[in-house]
Amino acid sequence: MITKDIQRREFLKGAAASAAAIAVLPTSRVLGANDRVRLGAIGFGGRGQEDMREALKLGNVEFVAVADVYKRRQNEAKQVAPGVKLFTDHRRLLDLKDVDAVIVASPLHIHGRHFLDTVAAGKDLFCEKTMTWSIEEAEACRDAARKSDRVIQVGLQHQSSGPLADSKQWIKEGMTGKITHVESWMSRNTPRGKGQWVRSVPPDCTAANVDWKLFLNGRRDRPFDPYKFINWRLYWEFSGGNVTENMVHQIALIMRTLELPLPTAAYMSGGVFSERDGREVPDTIAVTLDFPNDLTVTWQSTFSNSHYGLGERYLGSHGTIERLAGTTDMVTGKSQTGVWYFPEKVNRPNGAMVEGQTPDINHMANWIDCIRSRKEPNAPVEIGYRSAVAAHMANLAYRRTERITLEAVKRSATTA
Ligand SMILES: NC(=O)c1ccc[n+]([C@@H]2O[C@H](COP(=O)([O-])OP(=O)(O)OC[C@H]3O[C@@H](n4cnc5c(N)ncnc54)[C@H](O)[C@@H]3O)[C@@H](O)[C@H]2O)c1
């Protein structure tokens, strides 16, 4: 495995320590239906701030503490909640007794560490997607979650969406017949010369204002690199590229719609074709995932054409389910968003087109509700785990230029 190196040994050492800590979980506060939920944030950049603002909008939620390795983000937290406690090291935040639950929105390569430490500290957790950077980390997090009673939501918001509910209902009613193929895609564009995701480095992003070692999280030590710190998404060490940024949302949706197990095999081709700006992760991607029971799922993406937005098509013998988001209609030229069912007249001659009507559920509100009710949230660890493994199998196929089977992944996990 690509991760069979120091990073992996370091992570597993840490995972063992966290697992031991979970066995002696601190007693957590039991919240009543109307009790205030006291939140901490680990990683308070773009998404961490969005997530926290979403949570605060719900009411009866307090932003108590933030841990971020970059001073600028700590100052931004004070603008959101003037009394918020500021930390650089997430472990100090987790020591606080007055934090009930934590939102983790750090870069991908640190999710596993932050996930395990949060659960070991007895806090409920909202962990942004992708759940982890590697398959081994996904397994360690899933195992830790199974041993704990914490309420854990993964930031896969489509798991709370109306189209998921509509699609599941149509399939349950037999309206699609046998689905043998799902095609999915995601496309974006930027002005030429400006690569997707590239962020400018703020002038205060200096070695004095960033704890670079904490960011590296066991990666090879080296002098502070502000560009990589800000643009971590572009590099394999810290990211899984568009597969972990976006495919994971759609594959998790497909897996949940069809209740799929892990893929049996993954293939992936593509490259850095849109903007050769030094990034390592591909911008043009074609993934194929094989599943048991006669099903193939494809996902393709580009960063130099946004005409078809994103979507999924479930192709069944008796009908098709199509979910579109920002797709330009071929005939009318209008942008379309929604979910529809179309009958296959050869097998369902009297079937009619149906448009999905179920509204989305607020994913953050679902987590906060579950913290109070102790019910399982809409995107629990199991779907976080399955979607992470599928994404990492695809990336491994690309990086090794070979077909990656589940057997090989499992074999490598047991011989590591
Ligand atoms: N669910 C969604 O739709 C969605 C959307 C956007 C981003 N995300 C996810 O959210 C995560 C964060 O993305 P972003 O765009 O906010 O990135 P970002 O770079 O803007 O923010 C990451 C923050 O983490 C901080 N950080 C780095 N190392 C840290 C450490 N060791 N401890 C504490 N803080 C640390 C950084 O200083 C930064 O403020 C990613 O996993 C991304 O995939 C999810």
Ligand 1 binding pocket includes 118 (Cβ within 6 Å): no
Q: How many angstroms separate the alpha carbon of residue 178 from the centre of ligand 1?
A: 39
Order of strands across the sheet that contains 61-67:
85-87, 61-67, 37-42, 101-104, 124-128, 152-155
What is the position in ligand 1's atom list of the atom closest to the CA of 70?
Answer: 37
Residues of the chain with pLDDT under 70: 1-27, 414-416
Q: How many angstroms separate the alpha carbon of residue 105 from the centre of ligand 1?
A: 4
Separation CA 250–CA 391 (nearest Å): 10
Q: Residue 101 is inside which H or E element, if any?
A: strand 101-104
Q: How many angstroms separate the alpha carbon of residue 45 from the centre of ligand 1?
A: 5
Which residues, in sequence order, are bridge partners of residue 155? 128
Nearest CA to ligand 1 atom 31: 215
Separation CA 178–CA 163 (nearest Å): 19
For residue 276, the model assigns a pLDDT of 95
Ligand 1 binding pocket includes 238 (Cβ within 6 Å): no
Separation CA 378–CA 8 (nearest Å): 30
Separation CA 197–CA 108 (nearest Å): 15
What is the position in ligand 1's atom list of the atom closest to the CA of 108?
Answer: 41
Positions of E strands within 210-350: 265-271, 284-291, 295-302, 310-316, 319-328, 335-343
To 10 degrees, what angle do helices 46-57 and 363-373 make?
A: 60
Q: Would you list the DSSP string of 263-277? A: -SEEEEEEES-S--S
Q: How many angstroms separate the alpha carbon of residue 336 from the centre of ligand 1?
A: 30
Half-sphere exposure of 293 (CA within 13 A, CB side): 7
Ligand 1 binding pocket includes 90 (Cβ within 6 Å): yes
Half-sphere exposure of 201 (CA within 13 A, CB side): 16
Is 158 within 8 Å of 246 (Cβ atoms)?
A: no
Separation CA 409–CA 1 (nearest Å): 8
Place of tokens 């601190």: 26
Q: How many angstroms separate the alpha carbon of residue 176 from the centre of ligand 1?
A: 38
For residue 31, the model assigns a pLDDT of 83
Residue in 91, 128, 225 to alter for ligand 1 test, most ligand atoms within 8 A of Cβ: 128
Nearest CA to ligand 1 atom 25: 43
For residue 67, the model assigns a pLDDT of 99
Q: How many angstroms separate the alpha carbon of residue 303 from the centre of ligand 1?
A: 21
Burial pattern 84-109, b for ≥16 Cβ within 10 A else e, equals: bbbbbebeebbebeebbbbbbbbbbb
Ligand 1 binding pocket includes 54 (Cβ within 6 Å): no
User: pLDDT (tens digit, 9 = 90+) per residue, 92-148?
Assistant: 999 999 999 999 999 999 999 999 999 999 999 999 999 999 999 999 999 999 999
Is 15 within 8 Å of 116 (Cβ atoms)?
A: yes
Separation CA 114–CA 104 (nearest Å): 7
For residue 102, the model assigns a pLDDT of 98
For residue 3, the model assigns a pLDDT of 46
Ligand 1 binding pocket includes 100 (Cβ within 6 Å): no
For residue 411, the model assigns a pLDDT of 82
Integer CA distances (angstroms), 14 to 8, 20, 155, 345, 373, in order: 10, 10, 23, 56, 31
Separation CA 59–CA 64 (nearest Å): 14
